Chain A
Amino acid sequence: MSRKLFKFKGGVHPPEHKAESNVRPLHAAPLPGKLVIPLRQHIGNPAKPVVEVGERVLKGQMIGAADGYISAAVHASSSGIVTAIGPAAVPHISGLPDLCITLSTDGRDEWIAHAPLDYQAMAAADLRMKLRDMGIAGLGGAVFPSAVKLDPGAAHSCPTLIINGGECEPWITCDDMLMRSRAGDILQGVAVMRHLLGSTEILVGIEDNKPEAIAAMQAAAQSLDFAVDVVAVPATYPAGGAKQLIETLTGRQVPSGKLSTDIGIQVFNVGTAYALARAVHHGEPLISRLVTVTGHVLRPQNFEVLIGTPMHTLITLAGERDGSTGALMGGPMMGMPMPDLEVPVVKATNCILVKSNALFPPLPKALPCIRCTRCADVCPAALQPQELFRFAKTGDFGRAQEYHLFDCIECGCCSYVCPSHIPLVDFYRYAKSEIWAREKEKRAADLARERHEFREFRLVREKKEKAEKLAAKAQAARAQAALDQAKPAGLAAAAAPELAAAPSDADAKKALIAAALARAQAKKAGVVPKNTDHLPPGTQREIEEIEARRAKIRELARQPLESEEKKP
């Protein structure tokens, strides 16, 4: 099976360092005493906790439910008691805590009841929802919920399905080990993807530095009832980038700002295919993954790790060495430094790369950009990194977007070749995050404007409604008064109803006031002091005396002038 391959622009050849970790067999990491499972492990809305502190959960039980369409559930990786639901350290460069569910494992590793899915009999939408509830997300690094990617959308099919076994990043070998040991399962997952996407062409792209993996996948592909083309692609960093792999295999480029599905291609990582196979054929949600532990450790190797296992446990298993200077999650090109090593392994953790000064000497101090454009030569997205750097540095984000900043895949080729040692990718990440923050602010401002305008409109409307109501009431009262006046007028008035029905405003008002006064007086007369009935004669006499005095005083007060005259 030889296939015409294409070459994508740019790329670099950093030392591979794969042999350190792929020579030792794959081991399952032992069950830790404590599992910390973050609720935000995927792109989209974080999962919502559905268990309570103190509750006993079983292995594979859903502990966080998917919230919305772009979301995925999270599950207990082993059986045990929920000891905390709250902010805890997560593997994020900022070191900020995030909502996690902490489990104290009981060592029994007891599974919840689970059964394989009959995916061919299920409706596609139901199957996708099921996969979302099983927590399946892209394990290549982006952790995008797979259920969303498995929806072919309006096109109803996605002709080309590419399975990404590129694994171009140095040091990492987890996909390599997965393909070597579980090729059959991976292809079972591919069958489910093919079923959902209706793909007719299935390609597996594997870098040619993994001959064992290629052989294993090719052997497994023989026994399938559909054609899978396992293709060896030249090892160039970043040949395993989705857009680069698409170009290498098909010669087609994903246009700027578009998705690969817009040109009828969908790409999944081999790890995702494997997780999908476990979910569909075994009913197991995504609770473990393969993790490479390498770098400055005694026995670099791959482990099958339960999600939530502290990274430090794995480093200890691989043999901790003195002189480590922290660890990266991911590889040296795109990996993120971890704020501390007690953070848990999550769905996105493909590699824990322990650093040392010998393996990763600190970057030399930067020099100003000399505009040599070596970065532009290696950029696989065909951008102008030196220009983007200039715009990001000066905060000219509009120009940065004009220069397609968002096509940057943050592969790090530009930083790798920069003779001035400028951390270019950090500037692009900064610029992207600023632009997102601004867009968010803009949306918030638009919402505030809309709400304020509606409030203004509502206030005016309420005022108008009140005025109209009052006017209507006055009108009704006036009509009533006119009717009352008209009645005694008798036949004469009846003969000229227009005259009676339209008395002058002043008369109506007077009539209204008179009526109101009469009502008030009647009310007043009706009220009799209650404590003056049935009084004993003595009290009655006292009251009479007081009333007489009051009458006298009133009399006096009425003739103040007379009394003044009497005084001298």
Chain B
Amino acid sequence: MITAILVMVVLAVAVGLVLGWSAVRFKVEGNPLAEKIDAILPQTQCGQCGFPGCRPYAEAIAKGEADINQCPPGGEEGIKKLAELLGVEPKPLDEAHGAPKPKSVAFIDEQLCIGCTLCIQACPVDAISGAAKQMHTIIAAECTGCELCVAPCPVDCIAMVPIAEDLPHWKWKYPVIELKRVA
């Protein structure tokens, strides 16, 4: 009887030690779920979801504080992927956070720009080059199309230009085939 209890106690202590040690040794830094969610989000950093960037939104979803349908740039496909990852039902995009738009980049009318640097301060990805009282310009390849630079401009010289389809961006369309009608 005593032996049995002793064996169980020793076993419990041993297992507890191993578990405790591995909890320290294999500690996962950060929230792996938030990482996975962040990888799905489009990284536009536009804040339309109500969070200051994609990472905070991902963390909020991971904590269950935000819904999965608040990201207009991610669109329906993004919601589907998030739903799949989190094992929930996909739902339509919450219109309160905006509607999906065609992908565009900001364009600065350099004739009008006064060089106030407000757009540079607003850009979440440092995609605007320029300095005080110097003309600014957008680095188009790095612009995410978040529109955050449009509102601060005091002279309204920033416009969002949809990305035109050209050969490098051309995609094969989904083949539309006529099916033969059979009785």
Contacts and interface: CB of A to CB of B under 8 A. Distances in A.
Given A94-B170, A96-B170, A429-B172, A446 B43 contact: yes
A40 interface: yes
Given A367-B182, A447-B142, A452-B43, A426 B172 contact: yes
B165 interface: yes
Interface stretch (B10-18, B88-96, B119-127, B149-157): B119-127
Interface string A69-110: 000000000000000000000101010101000000000000
Contacts of B42: 441, 445
A368 interface: yes
Contacts of A445: 41-43
Nearest to A440: B169
B175 A92 contact: no
Given A367-B179, A451-B126, A451-B142, A92 B54 contact: no
B124 A430 contact: no
Contacts of A434: 171-172
Main secondary structure of the interface of B (DSSP, over half): loop
A96 B166 contact: yes
A92 B167 contact: yes
- Interface size, A (range): 20 to 34
Contacts, number: 80
- Interface size, B (range): 20 to 34
Contact of B45 (A90, A426, A448): A448
The interface centre, meaning the residue of A40, A96, A98, A364 with most chain B CB atoms within 10 A of its CB, is A96
A365 interface: yes
A276 interface: no
Interface string B47-69: 00000011100000000000000
A430 B180 contact: no
Given A364-B180, A449-B43, A452-B43, A433 B175 contact: no
Contacts of A452: 43, 45, 53-55, 124-125
Nearest to A92: B167
Contacts of A448: 43-45, 125, 142, 144
Contact of A423 (B166, B171, B175): B175
Interface in A425-484: 426-427, 429-430, 432-434, 437, 441, 444-449, 451-456
Main secondary structure of the interface of A (DSSP, over half): helix
A437 B103 CA distance: 13
A232 interface: no
A448 B142 CA distance: 7
Given A423-B177, A451-B126, A430 B43 contact: no
A366 B180 CA distance: 6
B129 to A, nearest CB: 13
A452 B38 CA distance: 13
Interface in B115-173: 124-127, 142, 144, 165-167, 169-173
Contacts of B178: 365-366
A422 interface: yes
The interface centre, meaning the residue of A368, A446, A447 with most chain B CB atoms within 10 A of its CB, is A447
Given A430-B172, A451-B127, 9 more contacts: A92-B170, A96-B170, A426-B175, A427-B175, A430-B171, A448-B43, A448-B44, A452-B124, A453-B55
| Shortest 7 CB-CB contacts between residues of A and residues of B | A365-B180, A426-B175, A445-B43, A448-B43, A451-B125, A433-B172, A430-B172
Interface of B: 38, 41-45, 53-55, 124-127, 142, 144, 165-167, 169-175, 177-180, 182
23 contacts: A90-B167, A94-B167, A365-B180, A366-B178, A366-B180, A422-B177, A423-B175, A423-B177, A430-B172, A433-B170, A433-B172, A437-B169, A445-B43, A448-B45, A448-B142, A449-B38, A449-B43, A449-B54, A449-B55, A451-B126, A452-B54, A453-B55, A454-B126
Interface of A: 40, 90, 92, 94, 96, 98, 364-368, 422-423, 426-427, 429-430, 432-434, 437, 441, 444-449, 451-456
